[in-house]
Every structure is written in structure tokens, then in C-alpha cells.
């Protein structure tokens, strides 16, 4: 069995998710918002996560408060309502960065 560390990324695909992300700026207790964000989370391999963070395709939400606890997809052309998240030619990634 190959161990693969998966990292969560929020896909802000609709107005409700975007409002929840905005609410994170004004709350002291993020637990309730974190639960409401669960349907918007995907898990991606750690290597891809690192490459996407380095390229700016994913970025932290309210980093000064939460660090990298809440990472959101910024490059929305990597997501489709019909097909979901795709990590392919839409993003130029160094293949070596995807290997741990």
C-alpha cells in the first residue's frame, strides 16, 4: 500500500461558500464555519498541494488569523461544476514537485 498524505482545499464554487469564507474574517470561533465548509472541501495529494500553493493557485483564507488551516482554490478554471476539480494542463506544474 502506498501512503499518500491528502490536504484539504476549499472550492468556493457558490455564493454560500464565499459568504462563509468572508465570515471567517469576523469570527473568533471558527468551528461552526468549518463544519459548514465541509461540503466545499476536496482532498488533494500533498505534492500537488505544495505546487499549487507555490504557484498561488491556492491561498490561505485570513492567514493572519488561521495560518494555512483554511486554503481556498483561487484559480477557478481548475474547477468545473460538471467535472469537479482537475489538475491537468490548465496549470503548469513541475511534475517533480508532485513526487514526495
Q: Rounded distance, CA 50 to CA 6, Å?
A: 11
Higher pLDDT, 11 or 2: 11
- pTM over 0.75? The answer is yes
Residues 72, 64 contacting (CB under 8 angstroms): no
Q: Rounded distance, CA 4 to CA 45, Å?
A: 7
Residues 23, 16 contacting (CB under 8 angstroms): no
The three-class DSSP label of residue 11 is: coil
pLDDT in tens, 25-73: 999 889 999 999 999 999 999 999 999 999 999 999 999 999 999 999 9
Residues 45, 62 contacting (CB under 8 angstroms): no
Residue 9 neighbours by CB distance under 10 Å: 23
Amino acid at each position: 500500500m502506498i501512503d499518500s498524505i491528502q490536504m484539504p482545499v476549499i472550492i468556493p464554487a457558490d455564493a454560500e461558500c464565499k459568504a462563509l469564507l468572508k465570515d471567517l474574517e469576523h469570527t473568533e470561533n471558527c468551528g461552526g464555519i468549518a463544519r459548514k465548509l465541509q461540503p466545499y472541501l476536496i482532498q488533494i495529494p500533498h505534492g500537488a498541494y505544495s505546487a499549487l500553493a507555490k504557484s498561488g493557485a491556492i491561498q490561505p483564507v485570513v492567514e493572519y488569523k488561521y495560518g494555512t488551516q483554511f486554503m481556498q482554490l483561487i484559480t477557478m478554471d481548475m474547477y468545473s461544476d460538471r467535472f469537479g476539480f482537475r489538475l491537468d494542463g490548465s496549470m503548469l506544474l513541475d511534475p517533480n514537485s508532485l513526487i514526495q
